[in-house]
Structure formats: structure tokens, C-alpha cells
Structure 1
Amino acid sequence: MVNIKRDTRDLAVPDETWDTMSNLTLVGVPPGVSSDISHRKWHGRQAIVAAGTVMPIMIILSFVRIYAKCWRNRKWTTDDSIFLSSLVAALILTSNQIAQVISGGIIGFHAWEIRVKEVTKTVMILSLVVSILTGPLIWIIKLTLFCLIYNTFHPLKYVRRLVYIGIVVSGLYYTGAAIIQGVYCGPKGGTDRKAMMVGFGRESCIFGEMKALTISMGAVNVFFDFYILILPLPAIYRLQMERRKKIGVFFMFLTGIGTCVMSIVNLYYRVHLSYSHDFNYETVPFMTVSSIEHCVGVVIPCMPQSAKTFGRVYTHLKSHFITSSRSFRCTFSTIVSTKQKEENFARCSPDIELKRNSHTQSYDKSREDEDTDLNPGQQPFSNARSVLYSSSTADSLLPPVELAAQTGWNDDTIKSCL
């Protein structure tokens, strides 16, 4: 990271020399490039955006898996413990990478824009911890993928053996890589800032062994990602199930192609970073791809439970929407129908009133004509109507006997009036 000297004799450098070196930049300005440290531009935004996008998705799907597989079934297995460990591992890796970008102010800037004094002890410790833990944490993330394959196809003997081989070989490699990282880049002669800078400034840490280890780790990641992707495919092909379900299982495991693509891109940036002198700037795309790769590795085991859960939610929402839509249509149709009836009645009411008045006038005239033909002593029909309908309520109507006594009509005449 900081190429000061090549051996432990740097610890004997006087403090005055260290103070003088603190104002120097990490590397010289390349030819044709103008450097303005006071107005330097930060390029680490893409790493923050990528991590801030994939981490919430990973956390949400992880909680969906835990809820669907553990909370609903009230059962916790070893596979669930390993998955939870992989979630914690991915969060640690991604969080540390974000911390490297936003703390200390050295990741995301060009190396010729960073002074030596800006490389604080905190920044170097965080960088060393991330370098050492990267291997074991990646192994834990891959371990949950091996467990997914094992639990799905454990009746097949060859699948179990290949899973065991993959777990052991990958575990040994990543553990060895962590030890080598700590030995070659750890502090020399103490734990203060100078000792940390000497450890990072050694030739074995910047070039040589660590360059080979960085590239080999990227290649091993690609190998094991394809190993995990291809391992279950023959077993899936032999499954005795419906064609539609078999295709769904294929696609679930083929989501691992995303991890393979990210690991290939990761290998490219590892190689490019190993031969670059602008380490602080070139680290940003490497961290971006790494955070996506780690989160995708955790999301894959969540796919079966997430698909079922979201399927149930979709069915419930669809049913609720259809019911609400039908209720709304019925209510709307009733309102429209009532409104149309009112409009039709209002449109026809003048004609109805005119016809009713005409009928009443004709009726009254016919009764008056009949009154002239009555025998002496009988009451006219007009008086009978006033007696019959002297009140607006039906209770005020007189009984037929009293009507006959007052009017002198017979029963047939009374019935014709009623």
C-alpha cells in the first residue's frame, strides 16, 4: 500500500525523516497528469451505491427465508445455522468494504493525490483485518451453497461425496490464504503506525507472493463457483417430477450463474489491481464487484422459500383485488342504475302528470254526468268521493254500512267508488 522501504531497518528511521515523508504522496504523479490535492475528486460512490442496493435485498430475502423455514415450521436445523453464519459473513465483508471507502479518505482517490500522513493506523488495521478475514468469510458463504445442494440431493451418494470434497478443499485453501495474508502484510516490530506501514510497505506484501496469492484467490473463486453450479445439474435432470417443476428447480440453481459472472469480473479486477500502482483508485471497482458477489451467494439459498412466500402473497393480493374490484363494479352499477332511473322519471314526470290530470278531469266529468241521472234522495258521486276521501289516511274511510246510510247507495255502487 505504501512503498517506503523494503526491510525492517525502516524502524530505525528517525522521526524527522518520517515527518518529512508524511507530506509526500503515495506515488509520483504520472506523466501528462495534473495533480491538485486540495481539489481532488472522490471516485468511491459506485461502491457505496452497489453495496447499499444489494445489502437490503439480501437482508429482506434472508428474513423471508428464516420466517418461512424456521418461524412457520418452528424448526431450526444445522443448515439454518450455517445460513445465518453466511449472512453475518456477507454483512461483515460488505460493511468493512464500505468502511474502507468512507473512512480515512484514501479509497476512491488516485494514489498521487494522497499524502502518506493520511494513511492512518485505523485505516491500515481495517485493511489488514479485511484482507485476513476475506478468505474464511468467503468459505462460509460458499459453505451454505454446499449445504443447499447436500440437503436437496443427499440420497445421491456421489453428490454427498463431491460436496464433502468441495467443503474440505475450499476450507483448507481459504484458511491458508488468510494465514499467508497475515504473515506477509502484518506489522513488523510493534503495533504502532510505523510498524503497520513497514508491514504494508514490504516487497512481499506489495509484489511477489501477495500478488500471486491475490490472483490465485480470484481463480479459485471462479473454480468453486462453477463447481457449485454444475454439481447439482445431473441430479436435477434425473429427478422424477413434473416438467414444469423441474424447470423451476433448474432456474433456481442457474441463478448461480450470476455468482460465476461476478467471480470472473472479480478475477479480472484482481489481476488489474495486482499490476497497478494506483491501488486506492483501482480498489473501488474491485470492491463493487465483490460486494455483489457476496450478496448473491447468500441470496441463492433464499430462493425456494422466497418463491413460495411471494407466491402466497401474490395470490392473496390478487384475490383481494378481484373481490374489491367486483364489489366496486356492483356498487357503481347500482349507483348508475338508480341515477338513470331518477333521470328517466324526471324526464317523463311532466307527461305523467299531464296524463294523470287529463284522466282526473275525464273521470270527474263522467261522474257529474252520472249525478244528473240519479234518483231523488240519492247523494251525488262527488259527495261520495268527499266522504270516501275526507282524510289522506286509509283509517278515515267510512265502513260500507255507514256509506250506504248516508248516501242511499246499494253495495254495487259503493264498490264502484271504492
Structure 2
Amino acid sequence: MEPVEVPSVSITKSLGAIIFLNIVAGCFVASRIAASCSRGNRSLSIDDFLSLVALILLSSYSAVTYTFELPTGSQVENMPITTIDYVLRQTIILTTVAAFTMYFSKTPLLVLYVRIFGVKKWLRMMSYTTLALSLMLFLTTTAVVGATCSRKVSASDYMPPLEQCLETTISVGVANGSTAVLTDIIVIILPLPAIAGLNLPFHKKVGIAIIFLTGIFATSASAISLYYKSMSFTGHSTTLMVTLFCTIIECSLAIIVGCVPGVRACWSAYEMSALHKKVKSMFARSRSVKSSENYGVDDES
């Protein structure tokens, strides 16, 4: 296998955009928490806490990305072993924080589905399954990078461990990106059948569906991020800064989209707490009607 070109990565010019994305995501999380606290019980739900965890991880990943800088090929030749060790440790940290940021940026919506549409057993099971499988995949890829990049570096072979670490990191980035895109697609599709089954006027169903379909923006960001990661994997691109920055955009949009259903201003007539009660009552009413119909059929027979 040919050596991986190690480009110089500098995201100083993107610092303003990174800060802006973190601030916008933070505003949405703060609005979500404020909306939750303004409800009658004034308590936060688990998806509110998960949004806060995702925001903290996003800020951490942004900070790690900003301080992460790979040397050029000429710099590597004269690099001491201690510096190579430092680059390897940085790579492990960056990959680990990125994986958990991607995971927790997508979990609030799935947990919200369980909380709102939990009366639908199939939807509840699909949400739990998606959460479990995506977590397992992210943990597995993180462990692979940790095992590959934690090798002891010696004076005779310090180049191969660095090259192998970078190759593995790029491969893991593609795997994590594919998992993120698949998770986003599931998140978009999952609530639509439940919304279609609500005993509501058609225009209200459309309005509720549109709110959840805002996840298309996060899915698009995930797909673009995966595209650039794939370009690096196939050797058509060596600009790692683009893939790192795309991951920040992807996670920021995922956090924002996950907060949309919980922000009071975005709901207008479909306030979160009211919808939660309405959805449960609609499902209960549907079950009651079906039971009455079945009972009537039994009496006739």
C-alpha cells in the first residue's frame, strides 16, 4: 500500500464559522431547555439532557479540531518520536470525540419519538434498535482507531505506525459517516407512519410532518460530509480540513434539527406539551374505536 500523504491542516480561517455554528446550536439547545422549563412540571426530559450533552461534545470536538494540525511530509522526516506519539494521541482523541458527537447529536430525536409515539410498539422498538446499533458501530470504530494508533513508536519504524493510523482513521471516518447517514434517514422516516395515523385534519398532519422533516437538512449535511470522507479514502483528495469542518457542520445541524420539535416558537399552534397529550389521546381513541367495532361484530355474530 502506498504511503498516505500527510497534508498540513489549518482551520484558522474557519474559526469564525465554527464559533458561529456552536453559538447557533447553543441557542437552539437553550431555547429547547427554556421551553421545557416553562411547561407545567418545569422539569427537563431525557432528550433535553441529551441535547445538552451533544452541545458540550460539539464544543469539545470543535476545540480539538482547532488544535489538531498534521505535519507535512517534509516535517515528518525530521520529527522526533515524542512528536509522532503526540500526533497519534491527538488522532485517537479527535476520532473518539467525533464519534460520540455524531452519536449524541442524533439521539435526542429518537428518544423524543419514544416519549411521544411510545404507544406504537414498532416505533419504540425501532428507535431503541437504532440507538443500540449505532452506538455499537461507533464504539467499534473508535476501538479500532485506538488499537491502531496506540502502538509504541520506535526509532526504526515510527513512520509505518503513523501511516497506518492515518489510513485507519480515514477508513473509520467513512464507516462513521455511513452510519450517520443511515441513522438520519431512519430518523426522518420513522415518525411519518405514526403521524399519518393520527386522527387529525390533513393540514395539521402535514404541519407536524414538516417539523420532523427538517431532518432532511441534517441528512444532506451528513451526505456531503460522507462524500468528502470518501474522496479522502479513495485518494482523490488529501485535504483533511474539509472533512473535519464538514463533521462540525453535520453535528451542528443535527443538534439544531433535534431541538426544533422542542422549541416553542417553532411549534406555534403545535406546542410540544399539547402535542404530546394530543398524540396519546388520538392513539387511545383509535384503539377505543377499533375495540368498539370488534365488539359490535361479535354481538352481531
- Which interval holds the TM-score relative to the shorter structure? 0.7 to 0.9
1:125 has 2:84 as partner: no
2:261 is matched by which residue type in structure 1? P
1:59 has 2:26 as partner: yes
Q: Distance in 2 between matches of 1:286 and 1:72?
A: 40
1:266 is matched by which residue type in structure 2? S
Deviation sequence 1:147-190 (CA, Å, 0-9, x none): 12212211111100111111111111111111111001124158
CA positional deviation for 1:43: 6.1
SS in 2 for 1:239: coil
1:78 has 2:46 as partner: yes
CA positional deviation for 1:135: 2.1
1:223 is matched by which residue type in structure 2? L
| Runs (5+) with no aligned partner, structure 1 | 5-24, 28-39, 313-418
2:57 is matched by which residue type in structure 1? A
Cα pair 2:114 2:124 within 8 Å, conserved: yes
Q: What is the TM-score with the length of structure 1 in the denominator?
A: 0.55
| Cα distance change on mapping 1:253 and 1:117 into 2, 3 Å | farther
Q: Distance in 1 between matches of 2:266 and 2:6?
A: 52
1:84 is matched by which residue type in structure 2? L
Q: Distance in 2 between matches of 1:242 and 1:92?
A: 44
Q: 1:372 matched to which residue of 2?
A: none
Q: 1:289 matched to which residue of 2?
A: 246
1:136 has 2:100 as partner: yes
CA positional deviation for 1:201: 1.8
1:241 has 2:200 as partner: yes
Q: Percent identity?
A: 20
Q: What is the TM-score with the length of structure 2 in the denominator?
A: 0.74
CA positional deviation for 1:302: 1.7
Report the RMSD for the aligned CA atoms in angstroms. Answer: 3.3
Q: 2:162 aligns with which of 173, 185, 201?
A: 201
1:156 has 2:115 as partner: no
SS in 1 for 2:263: helix
Q: Distance in 1 between matches of 2:157 and 2:93?
A: 12
1:99 has 2:70 as partner: no
Q: Distance in 1 between matches of 2:157 and 2:94?
A: 15
Deviation sequence 1:19-40 (CA, Å, 0-9, x none): xxxxxx958xxxxxxxxxxxx9
| Cα distance change on mapping 1:310 and 1:214 into 2, 3 Å | closer
Q: Distance in 2 between matches of 1:55 and 1:124?
A: 27
Larger Rg: 1
1:68 has 2:35 as partner: yes
Moved more, 181-190 or 161-170: 181-190
State the 4+ residue runs in structure 1 displaced beyond 6 angstroms.
Answer: none
| Cα distance change on mapping 1:81 and 1:199 into 2, 3 Å | farther
Q: 1:384 matched to which residue of 2?
A: none
Moved more, 176-185 or 245-254: 245-254
| Cα distance change on mapping 1:210 and 1:287 into 2, 3 Å | closer
Q: Distance in 1 between matches of 2:78 and 2:92?
A: 18
| Cα distance change on mapping 1:290 and 1:214 into 2, 3 Å | closer
CA positional deviation for 1:293: 0.7
Larger RCO: 1 or 2 (CA < 8 Å, sep 6+): 2
Q: Distance in 1 between matches of 2:13 and 2:160?
A: 29
Q: 1:225 matched to which residue of 2?
A: 184
Cα pair 1:50 1:288 within 8 Å, conserved: no
1:50 is matched by which residue type in structure 2? A
Q: 2:296 matched to which residue of 1?
A: none
| Cα distance change on mapping 1:218 and 1:294 into 2, 3 Å | same
| Cα distance change on mapping 1:140 and 1:305 into 2, 3 Å | closer
2:246 is matched by which residue type in structure 1? V
